[in-house]
Structure 1
Amino acid sequence: MKPDFFKNLPPEIITEIFLRLPVVSIPISKCVCKRWLHLLESDAFVKSHFARSAPALVVLGDSGQLKVLELEGELDLHLHLDPLTHYDFPYHRGNIVSCVNGFPILRNCGDDALMENDWLSVCNPITREVIKLDLLDLSSEVASAYGFGASKITGRYKAVCIYFESYDDKLDCHVYTLGTGSWRRLEGIPYVHHFGPGAFVNGNLHWIATIGGEASWISCFDVETECFSFFKAPPYHAQGLPFIRGRSISALSGCLWFCKVASEHVNDGGCELTIWIMKEYGVDESWSLEYVIPHDLDDGLRYVVPIKVFENGDLLMLVTVRFSRRIFYYSNKNKTMQRKASNALACGLFTPTLVSLKTLGLGVENVISF
Structure 2
Amino acid sequence: MKSLRLNVSEDRQTIHGRHSRPSNSINATVENISIDVMMDIFSRLSSKSIATCRCVSKLWVSILGIPYFTELFLTKSCALPRLLFVCHKDSELIVFSTPQPTNPYENSSPLAATYHMKIPFGRYCDNIRPIHGLVFIQNEQRFKLASVICNPTTRQTLTLPKPKTRKRLHILSYFGYHPMEKQFKVLSMTERDGISVEHQVLTLGAKKLSWRMIECCIPHCPKFEGICINGVLYYRAFVDISSNIFMIVCFDVRSEKFSFIKATEPFIIEAKLINYNGKLGLVMSEGRQYISGKRRRFEMWVLKDSEKHGWIKNTYELPPLWQYGITVELLHFVGVTGTTNEIVFSPTYLADLFYVLYYSFQRKTIRVVEIQGMGGSKKKNWVQMFIDHVEDVRLM
Q: Does the alignment reach a TM-score above 0.5?
A: yes
Q: Is the 8 A contact 1:257 1:277 kept in 2?
A: yes
Residues 71-119 of structure 1: CA distance to partner in whole angstroms, max 9, x if unpaired?
A: 2432585685423443333447655622222111122278x9xxx5223
Q: How does 1:169-248 map to 2 (within 5 A)?
A: 171-178=197-204, 179=206, 180-211=208-239, 213=243, 217-231=247-261, 246-248=270-272
2:158 aligned with 1:131: yes
Q: Structure 1 309/262 Cα, relative in aligned 2: closer, same or farther at 3 Å? A: farther
Q: Cα distance 1:81–1:231, how it changes in 2: closer, same or farther (>3 A)? A: same
* Residue 160 to residue 354, structure 1, CA distance change in 2 (3 Å): same
Query: How many residues are matched?
Result: 334
**8 Å Cα contact 1:246-1:303 kept in structure 2:** no
Unpaired runs of 5+ residues, structure 1, are 238-242, 358-370
**Could you say which residue in structure 2 is the equivalent of 1:70?**
99
Which of 136, 141, 144 is the aligned partner of 1:117?
144
Task: Indicate which of 57, 64, 76 corresponds to 1:52.
Answer: 76
Q: Distance in 2 between matches of 1:32 and 1:170?
A: 50
CA contact (8 A) 1:220 1:229 kept: yes
Matched, 1:356 2:395: yes
**Aligned equivalents of 1:96 and 1:209: distance in 2?**
16
Mapped partners of 2:359, 2:183: distance in 1: 39
Separation of aligned partners in 2, 1:109 and 1:345:
18
- Give the secondary structure class of the aligned counterpart of 2:88: coil
Q: Which amino acid aligns with 1:352?
A: E
In the TM superposition, residue 171 of structure 1 has moved relative to its aligned partner by 3.4
Partner of 2:118: 88
Tell me: CA distance 1:27–1:336, structure 2 relative to 1, closer, same or farther (3 Å). Answer: closer
Q: 1:303 to 1:133 in 2, by over 3 A?
A: farther
Counterpart AA for 2:191: F
> 2:46 — aligned with what?
22
Letter aligned with residue 255 of structure 2: T
Tell me if the contact between 2:271 and 2:284 (Cα under 8 Å) persists in the aligned partners. Answer: yes
Residues 352/281 of structure 1: CA separation in 2 closer, same or farther (3 Å cut) = farther
Change in CA separation of 1:140 and 1:107 when aligned onto 2, cut-off 3 Å: closer
More deviation, 36-45/245-254: 245-254
On the 8 A contact 1:308/1:317 being kept in 2, the answer is no
* Structure 2 letter corresponding to 1:83: A
Q: Displacement of 1:156 after TM fit?
A: 4.7
Mapped partners of 1:148, 1:171: distance in 2: 19
Secondary structure of 1:24's counterpart equals helix
> SS at the partner of 2:285?
strand
| In structure 2, distance between residues paired with 1:165 and 1:272 | 39
Which secondary structure state, in structure 2, belongs to the residue aligned with residue 209 of structure 1? strand
Provide Cα deviations, 1:262-285, integer angstroms capped at 9, x if missing partner.
139xxxx74532223446776644
What is the aligned partner in structure 1 of residue 10 from structure 2? Answer: none
Compared CA separation, residues 55 and 88, structure 1 to 2 (3 A): same
| Distance change >3 Å, CA 224–CA 99, structure 1 → 2 | same
**Partner of 2:279 in structure 1?**
255
Matched residues, percent identical? Answer: 20
SS at match of 1:262: coil
2:333 to 304, 307, 311: 304
- How far apart are the structure 1 equivalents of 2:317 and 2:338? 14
Contact preservation (8 Å) 1:244, 1:261 = no
CA RMSD of aligned residues (A): 4.1
Give the greater-gyration-radius structure (CA).
2
TM score, norm. by length of structure 2: 0.68
**Contact 1:257–1:275 under 8 Å retained in 2:** yes
Give the SS at the match of 2:47. coil
